[in-house]
Each structure stands twice: as C-alpha cells, then as structure tokens.
Amino acid sequence: MMKRIEAISTIAEEAEIQDAFIVGNIGFPSRELCAVGDRTSNFYMLGSMGLASSIGLGLALARPDKRVIAIDGDGAVLMNLGSLATIADQDPKNYLLVILDNGCYGSTGSQPTCTSRRADLARMAEGAGVSEVRLAATSEELRNGVAGRGVLVVKVEIGNAEVPVIDLSPEKIIKRFMARSAPPSPSS
C-alpha cells in the first residue's frame, strides 16, 4: 500500500503535466501537498472540512476549459456524501475527485472511519451515479487514474508525513490561485 504523501506526490506530478488546478483537503493532505511541491495552482483548504470536493466541482463548472483535481479524504467525503450525487448529476468532463482512503481521521489522531470496516466509497460513488469510478492500489494505477474523470479511490497507509504547517496566509493562497484561475479579462 502507498503512503499518502507518495500518492499526493504522484497526483501533483500528473497535475503539473496536465496544467490542472488542485484543491487540497484540510489538515495533513494539504500540508503534504504543499511540501511535495508548492504551486500557485494549488488551493489549500484550511477550514470547512468536507467541502474540498464541492469547491473542486464549483471550480470545474466555472472553468470547463481547465482540468480540476480535488484531493479529499475518506472522513471528509463521509461528511459530505451528497457531493457524490451532485458530482454525478453535473458530470463535468474536466473534474476528478481523488479520495485518499486511509480508513481514519488522520489529522486528529487516526480515529477509525466507517471505511475501515464496512463502508465502500467507490461503491457509494457508483450508487450516486458517478459516470467513471476507479480504484488505484499501485503508483501506476494511480497515474492512469489521474488522467480520468469522476471519482478515483486510492487506499493508502495510515499515518502522516513529517511536514510543516503551510506557511502561507489565506489571503496569499487565494490571491495567487485566482491570478491563475480567474485572470482579469483584457476587456475589463
């Protein structure tokens, strides 16, 4: 099984090749994303647990000309399961939700989530009607999966990398991101 930071590193490499925007989940996932290679096309979500998949969806619908990847966790997706139905309903071709499933709340002391026992997020995504649902267990499967759309579930090891807190203010994160995601039009 991959470590989460290895999976994040692979996703970030592929995103750079695709010139894709990334929305990173609250807590260690965003910290690891920043640590493997900070880029201005990353939006680090520092609050609002559960909403990374929703922010990614809104961005993808607003910018159909760009690729958008949201990196979310099992605990956060379980908190906003309706998002899977809305993603399926809208079905944007330029959007991929990656769920890094370690079966626990990794940023709060690794308390187990329901995916550590019976809940299956890939089957939930299928049940929600998501048009493309994939699983990735290896680095190669992950690389292939990141090229797709819909939902990609990646089982990863429990545990956080030793990475610092993100040394960027919320104002800085959004300002530099929007310089890429919503540049002023030449006419305005």
Partner 1 sequence: MMEIDPSSAVFRGMKGAGIDFVASVPCINLQDLLCMVDADPDIIHVPVTREEEGVGICAGAYLGGKRPALLMQNSGLGNSINALASLNGLYKIPLLMIVSHRGGEGETIVGQVPMGRLTPELLDAMKIPRFSPTLFEAEELVARAWQVALADGTPTAVLLDIEFWRSR
CA 69: distance to chain centroid?
A: 6
Backbone angles phi, psi at 185, to 5 degrees: -75, 150
CA distance 41 to 132: 25
Q: By CB under 8 A, name the one of 3, 13, 35, 46 that touches partner 1.
A: 46
Q: Residue 28, interface with partner 1 (CB under 8 A)?
A: no
* Residue 148 beta carbon to partner 1: minimum distance, rounded to whole angstroms: 20
Tell me if 127 contacts partner 1 by CB under 8 A: no
The CA radius of gyration of the chain, in Å to the nearest whole number, is 15
CA distance 84 to 78: 10
- C-beta closer to partner 1: residue 37 or 170: 170
Binding status of residue 36 toward partner 1 by CB under 8 A: no
Q: Is 62 near partner 1 (CB under 8 A)?
A: yes
Contact 3, 136 (CB under 8 A): no
- 């809208």: which residue's tokens? 90
Least Å distance, CB 185 to partner 1, is 8
Judged by the rule CB under 8 A, the positions of this chain that interact with partner 1 are: 23, 43, 45-63, 80, 82-83, 85-86, 89-90, 170-171, 173-174, 177-178, 181-182
